[in-house]
């Protein structure tokens, strides 16, 4: 099974890629859908869309196809080590971020790990990749090109090539879903620090894309730590191997210069 591998230096194994996205309202698309004048200010477009959504559903959370990706962060564990980063740069457009994400899958065929990736991140990426005409044949393969993908592919909910930890731990029952922040903190990890998804749009309007990317990176770090605890629980790691992996994460994060990592490690040590 893909998710049962151990990462040993020099040994070829399937890499594990934990991912998370941050989104803002797709104001250009919303102008078309709501038939608003082209010169309608960005903030007003989002405000109108959220108001209509609130009137329809009681919540201003927009349908997934009306989101636009502003950050994608990844935590990669492979035989070469562990690292966390955000795709592209602060100036990168949505198409570039999404293309980089699917190009990585095309090149390395990693195991994907997420928290609510099936319910949010991947559907958003599907819609936005379609909008931009981005190809990803490896990701969409259901066994037509590679027979192994008939039995373990990225699309099937019950396969492990994409492991949605929230969905699996809840035993595919939405009423049993838990927030990543809660589970991370209950397991002794830092959880969210200073920002959550509800504040991303505000930060984006203020030009704080760097803070959004930092927040996204700490989210994937939390998800990876929860994944390690899951691997311990299911017997993939011995307690000693789990401790080694945890120590590796601490060591790598401590080597990063960002203040968000200093805050993350301080919260983890408390």
What angle do the packed helices 209-233 and 239-254 form, to 10 degrees?
170
Confidence (pLDDT) at 81 = 95
* Domain ranges, residue 27: 2-269
Confidence (pLDDT) at 7 = 52
Residue 231 CA to residue 235 CA, distance in Å, equals: 6
Number of domains in the chain: 1
Residue 116 CA to residue 18 CA, distance in Å, equals: 12
Per residue in 64-80, pLDDT (tens digit) is 999 999 999 999 999 99
Identify the three-state secondary structure at position 18. Answer: strand
Per residue in 141-173, pLDDT (tens digit) is 999 999 999 999 999 999 999 999 999 999 999
Dihedral of alpha carbons 172, 173, 178, 184, sign = negative
C-alpha pair distances (Å), 221 with each of 11, 50, 144, 239? 24, 30, 34, 20
Residue 102 CA to residue 19 CA, distance in Å, equals: 12
Residue 202 CA to residue 25 CA, distance in Å, equals: 11
- The dihedral over CA atoms of 249, 17, 149, 105, expressed in degrees to the nearest 10, equals -150
pTM: 0.94
What CATH number does the domain containing 198 carry?
Answer: 3.30.420.10
């Amino acid at each position: 099974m893909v998710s049962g591998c151990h990462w040993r230096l020099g040994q070829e194994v399937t890499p594990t890629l934990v991912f998370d996205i941050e989104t803002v309202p797709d104001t250009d698309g919303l102008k078309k859908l709501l038939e608003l004048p082209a010169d309608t200010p960005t903030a007003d477009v989002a405000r109108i869309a959220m108001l209509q959504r609130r009137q329809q559903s009681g919540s201003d959370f927009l349908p997934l196809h009306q989101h636009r990706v502003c950050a994608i962060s990844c935590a990669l564990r492979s035989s070469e080590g562990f690292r966390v980063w955000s795709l592209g740069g602060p100036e990168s457009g949505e198409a570039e971020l999404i293309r980089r994400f699917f190009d990585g899958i095309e090149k390395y065929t990693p195991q994907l790990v997420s928290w609510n990736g099936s319910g949010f991140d991947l559907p958003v990426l599907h819609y936005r990749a379609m909008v931009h005409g981005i190809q990803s044949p490896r990701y969409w393969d259901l066994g037509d090109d590679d027979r192994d993908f008939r039995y373990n592919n990225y699309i099937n909910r019950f396969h492990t090539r994409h492991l949605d930890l929230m969905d699996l731990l809840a035993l595919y029952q939405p009423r049993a879903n838990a927030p990543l922040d809660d589970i991370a903190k209950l397991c002794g990890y830092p959880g969210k620090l200073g920002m959550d998804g509800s504040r991303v749009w505000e930060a984006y309007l203020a030009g704080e894309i760097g803070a959004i990317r930092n927040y996204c990176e700490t989210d994937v770090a939390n998800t990876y730590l929860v994944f390690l605890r899951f691997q311990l629980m299911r017997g993939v790691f011995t307690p000693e191997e789990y401790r080694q992996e945890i120590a590796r994460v601490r060591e790598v994060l401590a080597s990063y210069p960002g203040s968000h990592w200093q805050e993350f490690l301080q919260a983890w040590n408390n």
